[in-house]
Chains A and B, each alone.
Chain A
Amino acid sequence: MKTLKALLTIIFFSEIIMTNINCAKGPEVEVTELYQPGSPLIAFRVELKAGSVNDPSGKEGLDALTALTIGEGGTKELTYQQVLDKLYPWAASITPQADKEVTMFIGEVHIDHLEEYYKIFTDLLFNPRFDEADFTRNKDLLVSQLENTLRGTDDENLGKETLNVFMYENHPYSATEVGTVQGLKSITLDDVKNYYKQVYTRDNIKIGIAGGYPKSFIDRIKKDFDKLPSGILNEVKLPEPAQINNLEIMFVEKPARGTAISMGFPLSITRKDKDFYALMLVNSYLGEHRTFNGVLMNRLRGDRGLNYGDYSYIEHWVQEGGSTFQLPNTPRHQQYFSIWIRPVEPEKAHFAIRNALYELNRLVEKGLTEEQFESTRKYLINYSKLWVQTSSRRLGYQMDSEFYGTEFFIDKIEKELDVLKLADVNNVIKKYLNAANLKIAVICSDAMSLQEAMFNNAPSPIKYSSPVSQNILDEDKIIEIFPLQINKEKSRIVPVKELFEK
């Protein structure tokens, strides 16, 4: 089956913090193995323990651009075009992927070509060409992703990224994953070379491999990567994100057919915490990604036809390609809760925000029933088994588990959920969720009118194109005046051209 190559996928990053190097020689380079004898597919995931949090101030985007210049560049021996020519007949790939705290080089090859492929993969990492033309091409690409793609042609991701930068103002997470426009523009090829020298060390790299590789291959990988220079990055301190008081709203003004909405707040827990798994169950009940299980999906789309979908998350969550599953290897030490309301008709935006917060509030006040708890628990234990269907994805999940210092995530879910009780779940709802203090990103074409309506807590009745049940209409009467306590001082309208600028 042939499909056109996916149109550019955005990989995102962020900013700040000087990179300091400790030159002490560390232990042997780490390798995560997933050996599957007989499997002809070999998957590689090389993790650099650095991300946009390591970008120097004023050079936001340096980590992402360095990864791209390496992964989408040449080696000392081969130009970029020659690398592409080599990989092409094998249908092999090497893809950089960058996030806040880790940067990945992900690849897959048939065992027929393992030797030659490995040579190119490692040459890209050990002996990058750093060609000026490759650097320029990749830099233009990242700047354009912010200036054009995100600001002009992708309102849903614009909403999500706006929420991220809004939630983490004055925090190492505060830029997008590819930095800022001004940061990127200020980066030189020498900056990239210096960053590479400082950060791409044997101590900062971890290798993941899966498939039916020869067992002797592991020793070779260790020896090869051990030749990289030493150098340990100083840990970037992540301060507590600023406290959110009432609803703080960023209205992003741009031409838009629909109004895209994302809302959320930072969480103090991650996969390493026991409570995460109880909250995971709650979140699945509220808004499991791309399913009809969630309350939000059923109330906003199912009952009212407001939009195409409504979901919630308790960690940074990127969908892998066209699947419904999470992209591995974007782990973070600080996570956040969010609700994603896909574009609604502008005149229904105020109602949709109220509806989502009304449901969140109801969850916080009432919790789950025993039946809701049991059915969601059963679902999640089973559903999570589907997340690791391919060896590459399983390897990615394993490496993420190591990042968080836990056993394999999918096993951990089952183990934790098996012993959960309804009371645990309802306790974490009270402990971590609230419907009063959130940041909200709204992408809309008439920000002033919406802001005024929201500031005034004006009623927001909606009209249906067809009769809906009396129950819904009765509930609408409550939702349309559901009070929203908005922090006017912290809310603002931002022209889209100012976003992600610096």
Chain B
Amino acid sequence: MTTFFHMTSRLTGVLLLSFVSLLFMKINGNAQESDIFPYQINQVTLENGLKIVSIPFPSPGIIAYYTVVRTGSRNEIEPGLSGFAHFFEHMMFRGTEKYSEEKFHQVLKEMGADNNAFTGNDVTGYHTLASSASLETIMDMESDRFMNLKYSVEDFKTEAGSILGEYNKNYSSPFMIMEEKLCDAAFEKHTYKHTTMGFIKDIMDMPNRYEYSLRFFDRWYRPENCVVVVVGDFDQTKLIELAKKYYLDWKAGNYALQVPEEPPQKEEKVVNMTWESKTLPMVAIGYHGAAFSATEIDMPTLDVISQLVFSETSPLYNKLVVDKQWVELLQGGEEDSRDPALFTIWARIKDIKNMDPVKNEIYSALEEIKNNPVSQEKLLMIKSFLKYSFAMSLDNADAVASTISHYAQLTGDPESVNKVYALYDKVTPDDIMSVAKKYFIKENRTVVNLVEEGSK
């Protein structure tokens, strides 16, 4: 196997050039003048449905290699099996006949690669940052485990222990447990009812679900449900040759997912919690929001509202954090998601007596934008922020791959990034008022209050 051991001195000198990404300038190829994303996006779909997205990027000698499975906790439709997408992410490191778990890690080690994985509501992603010379080996190993994963019942059960450990690690923070309660209360039918970690009772039962894990793999780890994203220094022709060599034997699947539709919420829900350890009082307020869309204005408008009402330059932040100093932390927004998720507002409040006044200030700020159009000047500032923060984030191959993978998993089309940023530009003061009136209503919200045990 070739590694970049011999290339290292060259790398040290030239990595600097990778930052010369000429933000806001178009770098050849098919990037359009109006696009926010400055690099050429190549897309090739293999006969089995696997999409290969590749982006040349000035990171000499380095590539970022992502495989995104368009499956996350949203796909966990059967009762008692929440958390399985995440669990399966762990199992993907347990080896195949060709690359045992030990050999898999040994090869990554020889490459000097950075390798990891993540799971969310809608996606499971596997990523490697390594030398360009490692490309073929990465494709060999990745295609192999996506087609030929093999693990014993014992390995499966042992891995369940590390999931419980991850749960325990996360749940020393009230944010996690509040989010769990918020989702559970806000959703009745949709699978966003559970977090990506899953319900603890289901995690405890995971060791008994070996058979289901085989079905899960068979159902979702299929080429038409995955996108490979390669960013950095590579040869496009060679990449596609290798993709055909290593991925064409992968058989397409045919499972059709039916995620239960969430009925409209009819009344406000409130959950009160206590925390055994020290904490400031906290509140999480979730409104059912909009699904990610590169064509409809609701979601981009909600993102603009997130900035307008909850960013550090908002009147609400100024009032609660800077002026009155009632609140230590304030933020609000909705994560991009395939189905409508929650627009969640978080506040950590210094004094328990201000919990209701803080919530009332938040509600008033949301009422304010329903009836008073935002100034063009403020709207331009927000659009400028969105544009610059996006552009400045694309400063290395891994960040670019991560960004493109995000949009590819949401819609299947990485060009969604340009489309959605074009939509941000179109958001008007009227859109803000109408979207605020549509979503920020009392009947559509769920509130989780958390206070320290014994506090008054």
Contact = CB atoms under 8 A, between A and B. Distances in A.
Interface in A266-315: 290-293, 301-309
Q: Among the interface residues A92, A343, A411, A467, which one has the most CB atoms of the partner chain B within 10 A?
A: A343
Interface string B160-172: 1110111011011
B407 interface: yes
A411 to B, nearest CB: 6
A431 interface: no
Contacts of B115: 291
Interface in A78-109: 80-81, 84-85, 88-92, 108
Interface in B309-358: 311-313, 318, 321-323, 325, 328-329, 331, 333, 335-336, 346, 350
Nearest to B206: A465
Contacts of B20: 36-39, 212
B19 interface: yes
A496 B276 CA distance: 12
A257 B166 CA distance: 11
Contacts of A3: 335
Interface stretch (A152-160, A218-226, A358-366, A485-493): A152-160
A85 B380 CA distance: 13
A464 B207 CA distance: 11
Interface stretch (A19-27, A122-130, A187-195, A381-389): A381-389
A33 interface: no
Contacts of A467: 154, 157
B5 to A, nearest CB: 6
B154 A466 contact: yes
B105 interface: yes
Nearest to A469: B154
A34 B16 contact: yes
A304 B402 CA distance: 32
A91 B16 contact: no
Contact of B9 (A39, A140, A414, A469): A414
B259 interface: no
A481 interface: no
Given A292-B105, A375-B110, A466-B160, 16 more contacts: A2-B303, A2-B335, A36-B20, A88-B313, A89-B388, A91-B384, A92-B388, A153-B173, A254-B277, A258-B172, A293-B105, A306-B162, A385-B8, A411-B12, A414-B12, A466-B157
Nearest to A303: B158
A345 B168 contact: yes
Interface string A365-379: 000000000011011
Contacts of B108: 292
B278 interface: yes
A468 B154 contact: yes
A496 B111 contact: no
A8 interface: yes
Nearest to B204: A465
- Chain B CB within 10 Å — which of A39, A133, A411, A466 has the most? A466
What range describes how many residues of A lie at the interface? 35 or more
A389 B278 contact: no
A295 to B, nearest CB: 12
B285 interface: no
Contacts of B8: 381-382, 385, 414
Nearest to A90: B388
Nearest 7 CB-CB pairings of A with B:
A382-B112, A305-B161, A466-B157, A258-B168, A152-B278, A307-B165, A152-B277
Interface string B369-405: 0000000000011101101111111011110001100
A88 B311 contact: yes
B277 A255 contact: yes
Nearest to B25: A40
18 contacts: A1-B336, A36-B20, A84-B312, A92-B388, A137-B325, A140-B350, A148-B280, A151-B278, A152-B275, A152-B452, A155-B169, A260-B172, A305-B157, A379-B110, A389-B59, A465-B157, A466-B156, A466-B160
Contacts of A292: 93, 105, 108
Interface residues of B, number: 100
Interface string A152-188: 1111100000000000000000000000000000000
A246 to B, nearest CB: 28
B3 A382 contact: yes
Nearest to B104: A292
B445 interface: no
Contacts of B333: 2, 4
Contact of A391 (B116, B395, B407): B395
A344 interface: yes
A362 B162 CA distance: 24
A41 interface: yes
A305 to B, nearest CB: 2
A136 interface: yes
A11 interface: no
Nearest to B321: A137
A133 B325 contact: yes
Nearest to B279: A152
A225 B92 CA distance: 53
B129 interface: yes
Contact of B112 (A36, A39, A378): A378
B173 A41 contact: no
A324 interface: yes
A497 interface: yes
Nearest to B403: A1
A325 B114 CA distance: 9
Contacts of B318: 81
Given A154-B172, A342-B165, A41 B11 contact: no
B278 A1 contact: no
A211 B16 CA distance: 9
Interface in B93-111: 93, 101, 105-106, 108-111
Given A137-B325, A303-B158, A465-B157, A345 B406 contact: no
B44 interface: no
A371 B316 CA distance: 60
A7 B344 CA distance: 14
Interface in B55-110: 59, 62, 93, 101, 105-106, 108-110
Interface string A53-83: 0000000000000000000000000001100
Nearest to A38: B20
Given A257-B171, A375-B106, A466 B153 contact: yes
